[in-house]
Chains A and B, each alone.
Chain A
């Protein structure tokens, strides 16, 4: 995934997040993930619930302490940064959370919520300036001024998510982890938010890590895409390439499971994969997808498939390709 002459804004090397559970069980939510995100670009991370995509986003921001591997932000190793050092960095790296219901303080009004980070980081000298900036941010994310003094419970999910985005934008970050920011929104509103995120990217040269389970959204917004399954990355490629030539059986299954808004596909049964995501606790050696994989061989359930380059820039971990 190296690219000559450019420093990635964010890079991880064999990043690992291990949760130790009661009774000595181990849960590798993020298992040796390598990724690179370049300035002004978007990396999409797709996968089903429980695949570790949200944990990955949080570990990168060190909201969760990584248990192995390295994180580089703009060239510097931030893996061992103290919480205090991280706080200064938070101006540059922000997150938009998935659930607009629980990520916003119910006792703060909209404008207070948006202004909160700017107060913490003392961005402006006066209160008035801060609130003016907050009002401007409300405008930017499409929140009418009349909601400035409303409380979150008075607003619908879509508007609450806009608060979350405005709050993340308030410190002019360079990198934002978007953790399923549009999955709680209606399609017409979702499209507005996606356009907004893309406009902000063009305007400020932002980089995103866009975590989602929605493949059509990820295709639309991402430059490159990483597919995760049970803590592992199973396939990585440029967005176009991944959708045109998916190689991993899991990626193929995901792509064929999308209900297309097109009658052409009606009646053609999706390549259903059997069963559900298996437990991530104390996984056995071998490919993690093996139990659901239509192409599974003996090799798959005993050996771990290696990460290799299928074609330039296109990586996958599977024995059957």
Chain B
């Protein structure tokens, strides 16, 4: 696979179409991702927001085809990356791709490093795997320069993971992910395990790297603050579906939102205001093994109407802003009528 063939004029780097993923166990079928469409544009960061169980990580694992072998099954759709459908290429091709053109940073840096290898060995492993002909000295040079990029002195490369703090470990994991200069970096809650001052350092480093290497990013997070500060585009996931998507301005500045997005915003305590009580979303996330008919959010929605429990809402779009809600589907029709 040659990455030089990429067409620079093509805007979309990764295109997910109608992806459906299930987890099948003896007891039940869990519908983790339900027909989602996602586009990641070159050089931009897409924030995938949602709560636990929304299907964010499943989506990321599907891109890399790393779903648990026995249970996770992709039941349709396509994922196009640089002209290839990742769901159809063979495993060798995927192996060449992982860590090279697409790499991933996992949430917990403590468990994603090998405790018995030095961090230098772990980073060089990635390079040697993808560039087997590179002389040893150059591999080491590359390790040094990558470590410098993530803000770790190269002199520490002979140390073991336990000698690093959480923030430093996450930098090592990021170094492993970027050492082959991936076209797409998937970051799955990269700072959730870190302290707030360290999180600020790591986020600043990541956006600096993004500008320097021109990497596109899929940032998976539950923190709307991180989205506002680092992402260009946003997709909000709920119960395996994308219920709202758009640019970061669409999500943070537009007035119209999916009731779930509104609920998410009202759930965060606002530092600038003194409020007595938060307005949480009532109830719990829909059980993905037993999704309701119609809109999956309907049982928790304050604006639920009859149609919501019967019909699955379609996607309504205004320019870049997309919403999957009956409230707006009808208002658009009215708007159209008004225009006529």
Partners in one complex: yes
The answer to whether B197 and A187 have CB atoms under 8 Å apart is no
In Å, the complex CA distance between A52 and B165 comes to 17
- Interface residue? A10 (CB, 8 A): no
The answer to whether A192 and B280 have CB atoms under 8 Å apart is yes
In the complex, chain B residues whose CB is within 8 Å of the CB of A221: 269
A244 to chain B, nearest CB (A): 10
Contact of B229 among A190, A240, A259, A276 (CB under 8 A): A259
B151 to chain A, nearest CB (A): 10
In the complex, chain B residues whose CB is within 8 Å of the CB of A187: 51, 222-224, 264, 267-268
B-side interface mostly: helix
In the complex, chain B residues whose CB is within 8 Å of the CB of A253: 197
A48 to chain B, nearest CB (A): 4
In Å, the complex CA distance between A260 and B265 comes to 11
A286 to chain B, nearest CB (A): 20
- Interface residue? B228 (CB, 8 A): yes
Chain A interface, number of residues (Cβ within 8 angstroms):
43
The answer to whether A240 and B274 have CB atoms under 8 Å apart is yes
The answer to whether A191 and B278 have CB atoms under 8 Å apart is yes
The answer to whether B271 and A243 have CB atoms under 8 Å apart is yes
In Å, the complex CA distance between A261 and B227 comes to 7
* A213 touching B229 in the complex, CB below 8 Å, given contacts A188-B264, A220-B275, A259-B223: no
Considering only CB atoms, which chain A residue lies closest to B229 in the complex? A259
Question: Which among B65-73, B77-85, B97-105, B247-255 touches the partner chain?
Answer: B247-255
The answer to whether B203 and A259 have CB atoms under 8 Å apart is yes
Contact of B165 among A195, A216, A276 (CB under 8 A): A276
In the complex, chain B residues whose CB is within 8 Å of the CB of A273: 197
A-side interface mostly: helix
The answer to whether A260 and B271 have CB atoms under 8 Å apart is yes
Considering only CB atoms, which chain A residue lies closest to B54 in the complex? A186
- Interface residue? A198 (CB, 8 A): yes
Q: Which residues of B in the span 272-301 have a Cβ within 8 Å of any Cβ on A?
A: 274-282, 284-285
Considering only CB atoms, which chain B residue lies closest to A219 in the complex? B271
The answer to whether A220 and B252 have CB atoms under 8 Å apart is no
- Interface residue? A293 (CB, 8 A): no
The answer to whether B225 and A189 have CB atoms under 8 Å apart is no
In the complex, chain A residues whose CB is within 8 Å of the CB of B276: 198
In Å, the complex CA distance between A77 and B113 comes to 48
Question: Which among A16-24, A100-108, A263-271 touches the partner chain?
Answer: A263-271
The answer to whether B279 and A262 have CB atoms under 8 Å apart is no
Q: Which residues of B in the span 200-238 have a Cβ within 8 Å of any Cβ on A?
A: 200-201, 203-204, 222-230
The answer to whether A188 and B197 have CB atoms under 8 Å apart is no
What does the 1/0 interface line of B128-170 toward A look like (CB < 8 Å)? 0000000000000000000000000000000000000111100
A83 to chain B, nearest CB (A): 34
B202 to chain A, nearest CB (A): 10
In the complex, chain B residues whose CB is within 8 Å of the CB of A40: none
In the complex, chain B residues whose CB is within 8 Å of the CB of A261: 224-225, 227-228, 252, 265, 268
In Å, the complex CA distance between A190 and B284 comes to 11
In the complex, chain B residues whose CB is within 8 Å of the CB of A48: 195-198
Considering only CB atoms, which chain B residue lies closest to A217 in the complex? B269
Known: A186-B222, A191-B280, A258-B225. 10 other contacts (CB 8 A): A48-B196, A186-B285, A192-B281, A198-B276, A216-B269, A216-B270, A261-B224, A266-B229, A270-B200, A272-B204
Q: Hey, which bits of chain A sit against chain B, CB under 8 A?
A: 48-49, 156-158, 186-192, 194-195, 198, 213-217, 219-221, 240, 243, 253-254, 256-263, 265-266, 269-270, 272-273, 276-277
